Structure formats: C-alpha cells, structure tokens
Amino acid sequence: MAEDLFDTPTGPAGEVYDGSAIEVLEGLEPVRRRPGMYIGGTDERALHHLAAEVLDNAMDEAVAGHATRIEVVLEEAPGAAGRITITDNGRGIPVDEHPKFPGKSALEVILTTLHSGGKFSGKAYATSGGLHGVGVSVVNALSSLTRVEVARGKELYAQEFSRGIPTGPIQKLGAVANRRGTADSFIPETEIFGHDARFKPARLFKLARSQAYLFAGVEIRW
C-alpha cells in the first residue's frame, strides 16, 4: 500500500502526469490560446481595446514630447472587423538589431515578444499608458495581418506579420524627406473575434477624443 504512494500519478482517465504533460507555449501563442487574460475577452469591448493599445503607444510619444500629431484611420476589410491604421510623427520604433536577439531588429522583437518595450527602465518614457511591454505584441498576436511602417533617420522601413509571426524580414523601402514616426496597421483575427465582429466608428471616435482631453499638446486626426 505504501509503495502505491510513490507510483507515477495518473489522472481519472489513467493518463500519466509527468514531465511530458507540461506544455510550454512559446512566442505569442499564449495570447492566442487565452486572449481573455490579456484583453479581457473576445467581445466588442475587447476588440476595441486593440485600437486603444496602439493609440496609447502613439500618445506616449506625444506625452514624452516627441510627437505632435496622431492620425486614426478606419477602413473596410472584407470579411473582417475592419482595418485600423494609427500613425504618429514621433521618433519611430527602433529598427536596429536588438543586442539580445542577434539577427532581429528591435521592431520585430517588440512586435513578437511579450514584455518587451521602452516602458520598463524609464529611459524611453517617464510616463506611459497601456499594457506595458504587452500591448502592441498582443494586438499583433490577435491580428490576421499587421503592417508597421517606421520613418526614422530619413529612411522608411516596413515589416508585416500574420497572427504574431513575421511574414518576412524588415525591409528598407528608401529615403523619406518629410516623414518620421510609426504607422501601425492591423486587421483583427476573425477566428478570435468572430466573423460578425465590426469596429464601431462612434466608439473609436470617442476613444480618440478621450485621449485628446488627456494631453493638450497633440493633434489627433480622426
């Protein structure tokens, strides 16, 4: 009887509970498995929370004194909730290679890694909103298509993702003279939010207006 206490534990169906039963989710897979843990669900409120996270990042650039203008654009996307593009004229997400991830740009690390970003040490942002180091990567994980364009150092860069995974490396598109900042465009995943989910223009307008009240030094174009 005493020896039975030291046998390999089994479940009610007789399955063995050992090391092989421990699942390790990598990358952004935890977000896709349990979106409610990150944005509170998959309903209409959660859908619009995606836009709020990207807008928070743009507002952080404004509050830090690096951006004066933010544009929020909603477009139709066949069979999807819509396509939102939020553009700021801030510093632009860094595109140089990340020192801890050889071969990957800082942009790719931020978009594909939870708990990455410039809001932890206080060096990049004295104050910030949103889900620190989680927001934009969560949006990326829950979107069928994400495209980020960065105008930085008079050069334009772009990278696209699908369901949190890069569809290709970051690309250098060429010189830009009068543009700087980040443009983040995404289409929410219908498998996550449902085929009937749609962005509500009035709700997005209210979101943008609420941010405008918080900081007088930025123009938000809807």
Q: How confident is the model at residue 13 (pLDDT cuts 50, 70, 90)?
A: low
Give the model's pLDDT for residue 12: 58
For residue range 113-165, list pLDDT tens digits in order: 886 554 444 454 444 444 444 689 999 999 999 999 999 999 999 999 999 99
The enclosing domain of 143 has a CATH number of: 3.30.565.10
User: What dihedral angle (degrees, nearest 10) is formed by the CA atoms of 191, 196, 197, 199?
Assistant: 140
On whether residue 183 sits in a domain, the answer given is yes
What is the spatial distance between Cα 109 and Cα 183, in angstroms, rounded to a whole number?
17
Residue 25, in any domain of the structure: no
Specify if 19 maps to a domain. Answer: no
pLDDT at 219: 93
pTM for this predicted structure: 0.82
Decide if 33 is inside a domain.
no
Residue 101 belongs to what domain range? 41-221
Beta-carbon-side half-sphere exposure of residue 218 (alpha carbons within 13 Å)? 31
Query: Is-contact 133 120, C-beta < 8 A?
Result: yes
